[in-house]
Chain A
Amino acid sequence: MITLEQVSMSYKGTPTPAVRDLDLDIPRGCFFALIGESGSGKTTTLHLINRLIEPGSGRVLMEGIDLRALDPSILRRGMGFVFQAIGLFPHLTVAENVGITPRLLGWPKARIDARVDELLELVHLPLTAFRNRFPAALSGGQQQRVGVARALAAQPKIMLMDEPFGALDPLIRDDLASEYLAIHRALGLTTIMVTHDITEAFLLADRVAVMREGRIAQTGTPRELLAAPADDFVRSMIDTPRRHARRLAEAMGAVGPA
């Protein structure tokens, strides 16, 4: 579905490239997680896929078509985009925020309204209570539910998510993540998610790419990474969830099953 070929990119005024010689292949229907330390190039990689950032060299392809052949705004309307800062438009109501991409695509009003209702139900926001509210009147978790609904509005096949649940309370975060996984599966989406929470990546993703200093250190299923880390760096990264699991098991053992 999405292919990166030998992609390198440097930000102006920085000596080292943000990503270099990146090769990635993300199959259709895959939940793909990009993990790594901050500054490793995860977000840059994500932004290369909807042309928020242009590659310095190499190519980004969608179903075999070089993205440079497409109009960037039209390309982005076909992809959902969710990020940590959420970025709801404060001057628009919840319904107007969710309906923005369909509006840009010129859908008739009735179709937009129906779609908005459908999505608010999907992300578990009661219509009557939320439809006409402004973002400022919502909690963080509710805002990100709207953010997810907005990304899904124009029925994209591809979802790009940049630490979408990173700023939320742990409980809400877990809820929202598992709800999203259900949506991903039900709609047959291709999701590419950046996260620094390795446990979250392993619990959600079909495939995980570990990035380090602008390069891919290893790509594989969570099971593959856990079984055969490519090097010490990957090993130390994936050790974290393993350690968490072990300590959690110890703690639960001490208390006993509920």
Chain B
Amino acid sequence: MSASYDMIAEAMSHLPEYLGQHVLISIAAIATGFVISVPLAISLSRVAWLKGPALGLAGIVQTIPGLALLALFYPLLLALSALTQRLFGFGFRALGFLPTLLALTIYSILPVLRNTVTALSGTDPAIKTAARGVGMTPWQTLFLVELPLAAPVIMAGLRTAAVWVIGAATLSTPVGQTSLGNYIFTGLQTENWIYVLFGCIAAALLALVIDFLLSLAEKGIAMRSRRRLMLSAAGLILVVGASLSPLFASKTTPIVIGAKSFEEQYILGALIGDKLKAAGFESTRRDGLGSTVIFRALEAGDVDVYVDYSGTLWTTAMQRSDMPGREAVLGQLSSWLKNRGVNDLGTLGFENAYAFAMRRDRAEALGIRTLADLAIHAQTLKIGADFEFFSRPEWKATAKTYGLRFALRRQYQANFMYSALVDGDVDVISAFSSDGRIAQYGLKLIADPKNALPPYDAVLLVSAKHAHDEKLLAALRPLIGALDLASMQQANLMVDRADDKRTPEQAAQWLAGRLRK
């Protein structure tokens, strides 16, 4: 009971930042969408033949899932940033605020556009004739008659847009924009349902409050009640102001700590955050980033510090497929990183490798000890993996080396793979060697005698911007070589397990006490 109380307290401590960012991005997107869609709707209502196609196009855009729209804007902006860098000598942040703003803005256009076009096209022709008859110019007709009459309907569109955007903004976490979605994504990764629920309720409450205040404005316009309009404006200013105030409270630019989308990364992110705080740094988190996205973000300076794994960088960033051995990988990686301006502080002391795992009873029944044994039975077996694995070079290399071909492939949220394996939904999974559940469930790790999989030493990386910030580096150095595999597994399990579940922050505090001096 007290554990869940702690979790709520923990969740509350993030609320100022998450809510502030959520409100900021939502308001920015709604306002930008409004400024685009109203003039667009006015032009469309004047050009009859364009109306159908334009509304159709907006409708099609609306059917693109919000997450996909966000995912599309990141590479688009990355390419654009590279282009402006080459042409004009400046780039911009392709991660976080900008892709989210663009995607949500596009999302917010349709309701306002559709309502404005409908309202303007539906103006009583007699009233338009009267407007001309009393001597109004076309612009005066628009501003004195058509728009005031359409205003309640436009406001209704704005309300719809606001509710959509506030909801969709929770999806911005994976592209590096902090929002109330951070609760949901972190909660999902760590099976912390209190977090998920907290994020859902917070986002829903925010949507309800904003919707209520806008409905007050809508009624105020329709009934020409100045009191209602004032009340609505005051409420909006209060809510937005209160939400945004924590964002302006911190004067210094915080150090951005990145984390990929699994529990170990959240724990390490929290651990780094604690170390930085102890050294007097302000820091902020970008959680739930994809493993390619996060390295690009570090190179671009959108993320300042995070933990990656040597094998991942070797295959994905360096695009190497040869396996020269552990020390050689680390050595070549280090100099490759240095060339790119990234400071590689060193290894943390444990490895989180991709390892094929089976239920012990199943492996023993089939007599599987190595990947070569697995290849013999693979055609009758089902394999489960995380979302990335099958598109990673490691998988391709391993499959090729051993001739692995499975009957069926399934993809899971990383932390759901283990229960899928235990429940028998799949026969083999691509497990992570530092995951506490391997020991918990007594899983059998399949040996890789041909070394098809690279080593995955955890390495601490610092962006070029801070590569020579001695105070920062000094704060981080105590982590180098200080984490053993058993402690990491234990910490991961604390977050993953169903009973006596801990938050990543709590696990990080526990882990801090286990650091090797």
User: Which of A's residues lie within 8 Å of B, judged by CB?
Assistant: 50, 52, 73-78, 81, 83, 85-91, 100-101, 104-105, 150-151, 154
Q: How far is the CA of A104 from the CA of B130 in the complex (A)?
A: 14
Q: How far is the CA of A149 from the CA of B345 in the complex (A)?
A: 84
| Interface: B280 (CB within 8 A) | no
| Interface: B365 (CB within 8 A) | no
Task: Considering the complex, give the chain B residue whose CB is closest to the CB of A77.
Answer: B135
| Interface: B148 (CB within 8 A) | yes
Sample 6 A-B pairs with CB under 8 A, ordered by A number: A50-B133, A76-B133, A76-B135, A85-B129, A85-B130, A100-B134
Q: How many residue pairs between the two chains, A and B, have CB atoms under 8 Å in the bound complex?
A: 60
| Interface: B127 (CB within 8 A) | yes
Query: What's the nearest-Cβ distance from chain A to residue B123, in Å?
Result: 11
Q: For residue A89, which residues in chain B have a CB less than 8 angstroms away from its CB?
A: 127, 130-131, 145
Query: What's the nearest-Cβ distance from chain A to residue B139, in Å?
Result: 10
| Interface: B292 (CB within 8 A) | no
- Which of B126, B132, B133, B149 has the largest count of A CB atoms less than 10 A from its CB? B133
Q: Are B133 and A81 in contact (CB under 8 A)?
A: yes
Interface of chain B residues 111 through 129 with chain A (CB within 8 A): 124, 126-127, 129
**Given the known A-B contacts A87-B127, A104-B140, are A76 and B132 also in contact in the complex, defined by CB atoms under 8 Å?**
yes
Q: How far is the CA of A100 from the CA of B135 in the complex (A)?
A: 9
Task: Considering the complex, give the chain B residue whose CB is closest to the CB of A76.
Answer: B135
Task: Considering the complex, give the chain B residue whose CB is closest to the CB of A134.
Answer: B224
Q: For residue B224, which residues in chain A have a CB less than 8 angstroms away from its CB?
A: 91
Q: For residue B126, which residues in chain A have a CB less than 8 angstroms away from its CB?
A: 83, 85-87
Query: What's the nearest-Cβ distance from chain B to residue A65, in Å?
Result: 17
**Given the known A-B contacts A86-B126, A87-B127, A91-B224, are A81 and B149 also in contact in the complex, defined by CB atoms under 8 Å?**
no
Q: How far is the CA of A105 from the CA of B136 in the complex (A)?
A: 10
Q: Are A52 and B133 in contact (CB under 8 A)?
A: yes
Q: How far is the CA of A149 from the CA of B127 in the complex (A)?
A: 16
User: Knowing that A73-B136, A77-B134, A101-B134 are A-B contacts, what are 16 other residue pairs whose CB atoms are under 8 Å apart, sorted by A's residue number?
Assistant: A52-B132, A85-B126, A86-B126, A87-B124, A87-B126, A87-B130, A89-B127, A89-B130, A89-B145, A90-B127, A91-B145, A91-B224, A100-B144, A101-B135, A105-B135, A154-B135
**Given the known A-B contacts A86-B126, A89-B130, are A104 and B149 also in contact in the complex, defined by CB atoms under 8 Å?**
no
Q: How far is the CA of A25 from the CA of B145 in the complex (A)?
A: 35
Q: For residue B84, which residues in chain A have a CB less than 8 angstroms away from its CB?
A: none
- Which one of B124, B127, B134, B140 contacts A81 once the chains associate, using CB atoms below 8 Å? B134
Q: For residue B130, which residues in chain A have a CB less than 8 angstroms away from its CB?
A: 81, 83, 85-89
Query: What's the nearest-Cβ distance from chain B to residue A85, in Å?
Result: 4
Q: For residue B148, which residues in chain A have a CB less than 8 angstroms away from its CB?
A: 91
B167-210 near A? 1/0 per residue, CB < 8 Å: 00000000000000000000000000000000000000000000
| Interface: B137 (CB within 8 A) | yes
Q: How far is the CA of A100 from the CA of B129 in the complex (A)?
A: 14
- Which one of B129, B133, B144, B149 contacts A90 once the chains associate, using CB atoms below 8 Å? B149
Q: For residue B137, which residues in chain A have a CB less than 8 angstroms away from its CB?
A: 73
Task: Considering the complex, give the chain B residue whose CB is closest to the CB of A52.
Answer: B132
- Which one of A75, A83, A101, A151 contacts B129 once the chains associate, using CB atoms below 8 Å? A83
Task: Considering the complex, give the chain A residue whose CB is closest to the CB of B133.
Answer: A81
Q: How far is the CA of A81 from the CA of B135 in the complex (A)?
A: 10
Q: How far is the CA of A141 from the CA of B448 in the complex (A)?
A: 94
